[in-house]
Copies of this chain bind each other. A is one copy, B any other.
């Protein structure tokens, strides 16, 4: 399976027209970024970079692809023959997977000829928009869960392949496990599961169902206790399993009130180590409300995998710089764009003071860092206050991913995912957000583009 048809038709017709006009081989810089965060979001989490690298590696036009394209009549034979030779040969730099992003953060930069780089637009955006949408809300959920393990169990609410990527994005931001077997198989994510109402209903009595489950799956299993009457169910389960009963799951009703009653009941029956897992239309707000309830974990589905009301961060893939007929590189942009998104490849750093993030620096080009540092120093010197300079550092956010079309590292998918999980945890710690602040707020740090602006924040 190639990935080349996961693409909008116009990418190919633009390549054809540019080739015929002699501009297809002009050097270009494309950047992926979003203009803003959704209302109430303090940050976004970049996810999907690992999958983007896989999609680029598979971006070839095979016989079946070309046969289909020929049949559309939209492209000339010469173009089709040229596409047969397509390989991505450019450079890709980007934020590490799991890294946080803010408005205008250049999360991916693609450099190559126009025809080589423009073709990747659709599939790159599909992957980054989807995966980052899930990761961005998932990070809020694990924060609200305050260390209580979260199970991803939303696969049934989304496209069956998106479900796999969603489980991956959830694991990236700290989910403990997934119910999705394909995600377990592809990415070695731990899988977990409980039992459904259908299982209880299959048996003549609830007691028969619990006995069957506990006999087969062992006492450490999780039984679902809200099919009929919760108290009766818990007494029945403990009677059969004894105090070694692993966990009970609540899927409906007033979870706060029930959790307290349930804990008391379990304790009174001697099942003091039996855990209580809550499920049922949970999101970061509900998890936050449940912080004081005696719960031991959450199963989270729909709101996670559908991006919590913001399914895509609005990533765009924009041409920001290209070679002109004079052979020189020129920044370019739509007339209506504002300065922050107009032209030129950008470098990005997180400005840290004492290990805490204070600003997202987005500078027009690597060469500008020295200038930024001079401006910043000058502004701080002239100001009335200044931070402990020795505590200030710039953490580079962009890393090379592909150079000349070749991967910079050869991490396999599960290892990449673990590295991203660590990156997310470390970058989130730099923000210093406490779960007690609640899920919503303005962007946690400002995006700044020059030294004086940074000095105002630090001063």
Q: Which residue numbers of A lie inside 8 Å of B, CB to CB? A: 3, 5-14, 16-18, 20-21, 23, 26, 28, 30, 55, 64-65, 68-69, 72, 74, 114, 118, 121-123, 125-127, 129-131, 153, 155-165, 179-182, 184-185, 191-199, 201-204, 208, 211-213, 215-217, 226-229, 252-253, 302, 306-307, 309, 311-312, 317-319, 322, 324-325, 332-336
Contact = CB atoms under 8 A, between A and B. Distances in A.
A69 B23 contact: no
Contacts of A129: 156-158
Contact of A5 (B185, B306, B311): B185
A68 B6 contact: no
Contacts of A72: 184, 191
A365 B309 CA distance: 38
14 contacts: A5-B185, A6-B182, A10-B194, A13-B193, A13-B195, A16-B216, A21-B212, A21-B216, A65-B185, A118-B196, A127-B160, A156-B317, A161-B161, A202-B319
A131 B253 CA distance: 29
Q: Is the interface of A mostly helix, strand, loop or mixed?
A: helix
A158 B126 contact: yes
Nearest to A158: B130
Contacts of A114: 198, 202
Contact of A201 (B13, B123, B127, B319): B319
Q: How many copies does the complex hold?
A: 2
A165 B333 CA distance: 33
A123 B252 CA distance: 23
Contacts of A318: 197-198
Contacts of A309: 309
Interface centre among A28, A306, A317, A318 (most CB of B within 10 A): A306
Shortest 8 CB-CB contacts between residues of A and residues of B: A10-B193, A21-B212, A9-B193, A159-B162, A17-B216, A125-B156, A161-B161, A198-B319
Interface centre among A3, A130, A198, A319 (most CB of B within 10 A): A198
A74 B191 contact: yes
Contacts of A191: 9, 72, 74
A336 B252 contact: yes
A296 B87 CA distance: 38
Contact of A126 (B28, B126, B155): B155
A14 B160 contact: no
Given A126-B158, A202-B322, A335-B229, A181 B212 contact: no
Given A11-B196, A16-B216, 9 more contacts: A10-B193, A14-B199, A21-B216, A28-B198, A68-B184, A122-B156, A157-B312, A306-B311, A309-B309
Nearest to A330: B204
Contact of A10 (B195, B202, B319): B195
Contact of A197 (B163, B195, B217, B319): B319
B10 A160 contact: no
A197 B399 CA distance: 27
Contact of A157 (B5, B11, B121, B125): B125
Contacts of A26: 202
Interface centre among A184, A203, A216 (most CB of B within 10 A): A216
